[in-house]
Structure 1
Amino acid sequence: MKTYKYITLFALFTASLLFVQCSDDDDNVIMQETCNDGVLNGDETEIDCGGTTCEPCGVVLDFSGTYKQEDQMGRPGINTVFGTEGFKDAFNVTVPSEMQVAFQNKFEARLLALNPGYTSNALGLNAEVFTTVLSNDVLWLAQSGITTYFNGTEVLTGRALSDDVIDISLLLIFGGADGTENPGLTSDGVPTNDVAFATSFPYLAGPF
Structure 2
Amino acid sequence: MNTYKLRILFVAVCTSLMFVQCGNDDDNILIIEDEPVAIDFSGDWTQEDSMGRPGINTVFSGSDDVKNDFNSRIPTDRASFQPIFQNTLELYHDVYAMSLGIPVEDLDYEANILTLDAATFTTVLAQFDALQVAPNAPTTYFDGTNALTGRNLNDDVIDISLTLMFGGMTGTRFDGNNGTPQLTSDGVGLGDRTFGSFPYLNTPN
Candidates 92, 115, 118, aligned match of 2:109: 118
- In the alignment, the residues of structure 1 paired with residue 174 and residue 150 of structure 2 have an alpha-carbon distance, to the nearest angstrom, of 27
* TM-score, length-scaled by structure 2: 0.66
Give the letter for the 2:194 counterpart: A
- In the alignment, the residues of structure 1 paired with residue 82 and residue 187 of structure 2 have an alpha-carbon distance, to the nearest angstrom, of 29
2:200: which partner in 1?
A: 205
2:136: which partner in 1?
A: 144
**When the two structures are aligned, how many residues end up with a matched partner?**
154
- In the alignment, the residues of structure 2 paired with residue 123 and residue 90 of structure 1 have an alpha-carbon distance, to the nearest angstrom, of 28
Per-residue displacement from partner, 1:148-201 (whole Å, max 9, x unpaired)? Answer: 0011110101111111000000000011111111121110111204643343xx
* TM-score, length-scaled by structure 1: 0.65
Please tell me whether Structure 1 or Structure 2 has the larger radius of gyration of its CA atoms: 1
- Offset at 1:59? 10
Structure 1 residue runs of 5 or longer lacking an equivalent are: 1-36, 41-54
Which runs of structure 2 are paired with 1:64-79 in the superposition (5 Å)? 64=41, 67-79=45-57
- In the alignment, the residues of structure 1 paired with residue 147 and residue 17 of structure 2 have an alpha-carbon distance, to the nearest angstrom, of 46
Let me know the Cα RMSD of the aligned residues: 2.8
Structure 2 residue runs of 5 or longer lacking an equivalent are: 1-15, 20-31, 95-107, 176-181
2:84: which partner in 1?
A: 106
- Offset at 1:62? 4.8
1:89 aligns with 2:49: no
- In the alignment, the residues of structure 2 paired with residue 70 and residue 169 of structure 1 have an alpha-carbon distance, to the nearest angstrom, of 24
Secondary structure of the structure 2 residue equivalent to 1:87? helix
Secondary structure of the structure 1 residue equivalent to 2:154? coil
2:123: which partner in 1?
A: 132
Identity %: 45
